[in-house]
Amino acid sequence: MVFLQRLFIIILPLLSFSQNIEKLKSLFPNADAVIKQRSEILHIKRSNGKFEITRDYSETKIILKTPPFSNFWVERIYFDSFEKIRAIEGDKISNSDLLLNSKAEKYGPQSTIRSSGLYNDEKVYKLWFNQVKKGDKINIKYERIHKNPRMFGPFFFMDSEPCLKAKFSIRSDKNIEIGWSYYGPEKYHVTFSKGMSNGENIYTWTLDSIPAFEEEDYSPSFQELAPQIIYYIKSVTERKKKKIILDSVSALHNWYRSLVKRANLSPPHSVASLTREIIDTCETKDEKVKAIFQWVQSNIKYINTSVGMGGFVPDDAEEVLKNRYGDCKAMTNLSITMLRLARINSYFCWIGTFDLPYNYTNNFTVSTDNHMIIAIRKNGKVKLLDATNSYGEFYKTPFYLQGKEALI
């Protein structure tokens, strides 16, 4: 394996497009294609007190195996309501016959639901390439518009296919401060440079010879194994005043706290009545907490919904009680509303499940957590409760949260 990796690094830069098909195929016998180059350029500008954030994406891919089933090749572009996709281009360059060069057929956007217990606003564009054969080249370009300056996920150099060269750049106005860090295995050596041109700060990261991600049973997650750049907008300075966007855990906490305050805009009359009924025979604090926790566990169905800011703002407790279903934020909000009505201090708590390897020290962005639970102080210690886990034991942290940092 070490020999193959060295061979990959030494030989490939010397190959031309016309020469490397068979050598690439021998180096990557299991790959259907290899990414020749992938580039993303993030433009961050400020205009009239608002951010204008766009991302230029381009990719060139070499087909190593002729696809089965009518020689179709499909590329997918995923996005959600915090983003917009435009200027999509796709073409195929035939390695054997110029007459077979063609443009991709674009379909979408289409909604996508990846599991029976999930409803979200993710959509996908599909690019269909016809009559694709071994040696053909696939080119893709599009522009992604970001609507929220805090909604950035990491840039992953790794993909499901091997990549010869990946480059990520940020071009920002000089009054916008960017923060970043590398996360991933130490064996990858990412090259970084910073410069300035036309009044913009330019940050660039490149990595060559990236193997395909291969998932195995019980292996660490993709986020754990993939080399990546975590990046964020720290601040913007206008009229000699500095506005913090996301420069610390405290800034993330303040933003999350502002979102939680948007819930429960209507008085929780029904919730209050039910809470009195649930705790009517309880005498101690623990008995009240347990009764409320187990009632939510048993009577509210967990359905993972993530639509727009609904992925961050909890549903009103009254609505959750009325509907008898909700996601983690909804079930947490109902539980905390009940607990506070019972005069028990409780707190909203963001946390990442075990498949997310980050902690808030090295990654204070929205990619660190994906779950909300309840925090309660007991005898000077913090106890965590997850109402979405129907079989979870009282005051026992579920296995998928053990060892994780929590933002209370």
Residue with the larger pLDDT of the pair 302 and 168? 168
pLDDT score of 289 more than 60: yes
When pLDDT is averaged across residues 206-222 and rounded to a whole number, the result is 90
- Rounded to whole angstroms, how far apart are CA atoms 83 and 275? 40
Q: For 242-252, how does the pLDDT look when each residue is reduced to its tens digit (9 = 90+)?
A: 999 999 999 99
From the candidate CATH numbers 2.60.40.3140, 3.20.20.70, 3.40.50.720, 3.40.50.300, the one assigned to the domain spanning 2-247:
2.60.40.3140
Q: For 328-360, how does the pLDDT look when each residue is reduced to its tens digit (9 = 90+)?
A: 999 999 999 999 999 999 999 999 999 999 999
Residues in CB range of 263: below 8 A, 6 or more apart: 313, 314, 315, 316, 317, 333
pLDDT score of 397 more than 90: no
Q: Which amino acid is at 378?
A: K
From the candidate CATH numbers 3.40.50.150, 3.10.620.30, 3.40.50.1820, 3.30.360.10, the one assigned to the domain spanning 253-407:
3.10.620.30
- Rounded to whole angstroms, how far apart are CA atoms 223 and 246? 21
Q: Where are the domains of the chain?
A: 2-247, 253-407
289: tokens are: 């907490």
Which has the minimum average pLDDT: 2-11, 193-202, 303-312, 392-401?
Answer: 2-11
pLDDT score of 8 more than 60: no
At 71 the pLDDT is 80
CA angle 300, 221, 75 (to 5 degrees): 95
pLDDT score of 12 more than 60: no
At 2 the pLDDT is 33
Does residue 261 contact residue 312 with C-beta atoms inside 8 Å?
no
pLDDT score of 62 more than 80: yes
Residue 19 pLDDT class (50, 70, 90 cuts): low
Residues in CB range of 361: below 8 A, 6 or more apart: 249, 405
Which has the minimum average pLDDT: 135-139, 203-207, 307-311, 368-372?
Answer: 307-311
pLDDT score of 86 more than 70: yes
